[in-house]
Amino acid sequence: MCAGCFAGGMFVARTAQPSQAAVSAKQPESFIVHVPGLSSAAEAERLSVVLRERGHKSAAVDTASGEPGHAVKIGPFTTRAAADDLTLELRNAGYGTVQVVPGMPGRK
């Protein structure tokens, strides 16, 4: 019976549609604002302190960024719009290499 379904195209049509899990896997559940390339640990710490004072309690120096210099990560944000707002604010303040990256799935 399966051979008949496959030959008739029903099997292909059935698997061609992505599952709900596959659709949700493509969209991150959260976003992180990443500020790489800071010249010193002191500069990264100053930025994270200022951000925490402004209400971004999760702002932290990112010691595992793997990039030259030092980095700060802020988040997770539950919407891309909120992450983009902070990104624009940081770029306007002179941090030109600010990026929005996907957060860890399931973490809020």
Query: pLDDT by residue (tens digit) across 38-94?
Result: 989 999 999 999 999 999 999 999 877 566 789 999 999 999 999 999 999 999 999
Q: What is the CA radius of gyration of the chain?
A: 21
- Mean pLDDT, residues 7-15 taken together: 46
Q: CA-CA distance, 79 to 27, in Å (whole number)?
A: 11
pLDDT band of residue 29 (cuts 50, 70, 90) is confident
The amino acid occupying position 6 is: F
pLDDT attached to residue 10: 45
pLDDT attached to residue 22: 56
Question: CATH no. for residue 79?
Answer: 3.30.70
**In the predicted structure, residue 17 carries a pLDDT above the cut 80:** no
Q: Which residues are within 8 A (CB) of 30 and not within 5 positions of it... i.e. 6 or more apart?
A: 75, 76, 77, 78, 102, 103, 104, 105, 107, 108
Domain around 44:
28-102
Q: Which pTM value belongs to this model?
A: 0.68
What total number of domains does the chain contain? 1
> Going by DSSP bridges, is the β-strand pair 70-77/60-62 parallel, antiparallel, or unpaired?
antiparallel
